[in-house]
Amino acid sequence: MKKVILIALIALIAGAALAAGITLNGAGASFPYPLYSKWAYLYEQKTQVKLNYQSIGSGGGIAQIKARTVDFGASDAPLKKEELDAAGLAQFPMTMGGVVPVINLAGVATGQLKLTGAVLADIFLGKIVSWDDPAIVKLNPGVKIPKQKIVVVHRADGSGTTWIFTNYLAKVSPEWQKSVGSDKAVSWPTGIAGKGNEGVAAYVKQVPGAIGYVEYAYAIENKINYVSLQNQAGKFVKPGIDTFQAAAANADWQNAPGFYMVLTDQPGDKSWPITGASFILIYKDQADFSRAKEMLKFFDWCLKNGGETAKGLHYVPLPANLVTLVQAMWAKDIKAGGKPLWP
């Protein structure tokens, strides 16, 4: 009897393993993680192809794809063409989103507080320490700002969200560029640090007078107060799908080597100043033809059919002409054993 049960168990497990489709492995940025997991879920229901995505941060994603432990890496910080060529990687954008400054300030409605890039940089530099500082009050006539100390909240871990945010601050504040710079992790002049977008959101919600920066979806889902920022055209805009799309619309993807594109501080009346794209990194020379083909089919489905899902989660889907450019790159550069993989 025992033998029968044992054989049945082994057959069951083996059968389950065979029946399941392949599992793709990816790792990287936490910025697009909610979107990738939703897409993976919907795709698995259609095709039995599973995705295992580990949200370990952009730096982790780059390290893992270079170590060849995953099929693809994800990073909010794009790699330059030289670095891509040196590693034999191809890069393409998958989605876009915005980073929003969030605040905890009593008596101020969501999106009501207006800030400029220079003032934002001064707050994060520790030069403006109180909410009723004249620089902030000047931008917000008629808004009753309480007398409260500013508590800066930033990321404790290295992150693509930080990369995008500090890239923006470095563009709008020469002092920020000189004294802090722009990277996935920087030496913050002041403030407390939370782990992940979730950690920053939790701190900002807890501490009165706090200001932090999170990816837009985290601000919406956690119902945190965000600010309006002044963009390059001088207009104050609120974060949202339309302002992110406006920022992305002007980008010249055609002439970007390796799709290297930074979308912060873009021109345009309706552009949100802290927009960013999230990229996928794959090897140009794929080892396994069928596995690589499944991976490209997954990406293709996401790019062509995933738009509504993306919008529902407050991400910006890629415009159609950009999808065409991406797929042209696949056809040209991605091969397995010399044979082109796409279409």
Partner 1 sequence: MAKLGKISGGDLVFKTLTGVCAAAVLVIMAGLFYELFRLSWPSIQKFGLSFFTRNEWNPVTQDFGALSSIWGTLVSTAIAMIIAIPLSLVIALFLVELAPPIIAKPVGYAIELLAAIPSIIYGMWGLFVFAPYMAEHVQPFLSERLGFIPLFTGPPIGIGMLSAGIILALMILPFVAAVMRDVFQMVPPMLKESAFGMGSTTWEVTAKVTVRYGIVGLVGASFLGLGRAIGETMAVTFVIGNDHSLSLGLFNPANTIASTLANEFAEASEPMYLSSLVELGLVLLLLTFVVQSLAQLWLRSINKGMGA
In the complex, the residues that contact partner 1 under the rule CB under 8 A are: 56-60, 62-63, 149, 151, 156-159, 180-188, 191-195, 202-203, 206-207
Smallest distance, partner 1 to C-beta of residue 58, A: 7
Question: Least Å distance between CB 199 and partner 1?
Answer: 8
CA distances from 252 to 21, 298, 332 (A): 38, 26, 20
21/208 with CB nearer partner 1: 208
Q: Give the nearer residue to partner 1 in terms of CB position, either 65 or 303.
A: 65
From the list 75, 92, 74, the residue with the least C-alpha distance to 333 is: 92
Q: Which candidate, 102, 107, 103, 72, places its Cα nearest to that of 90?
A: 72
What are residue 213's DSSP bridge partners?
101
Q: Compare residues 21 and 181 and give the one whose CB is closer to partner 1.
A: 181
- Please identify, using beta-carbon distances, which residue of 34 and 59 lies nearer to partner 1: 59
> CB 45 → partner 1: shortest distance, Å?
30
Among residues 274, 118, 126, 267, the alpha carbon closest in space to that of 190 is found at 126
Q: How far is the CB of 188 from partner 1 (least distance, A)?
A: 7
From 324, 319, 230, select the one nearest 277 (Cα to Cα). 319
Nearer to partner 1 among residue 281 and residue 310 (C-beta): 281
Q: Between the CA of residue 77 and those of 9, 28, 62, 142, 250, what are the distances in Å?
A: 47, 11, 9, 39, 19
* Helix (H/G/I), strand (E/B), else coil: 61: helix
The nearest distance, CB 210 to partner 1, in angstroms, is 8
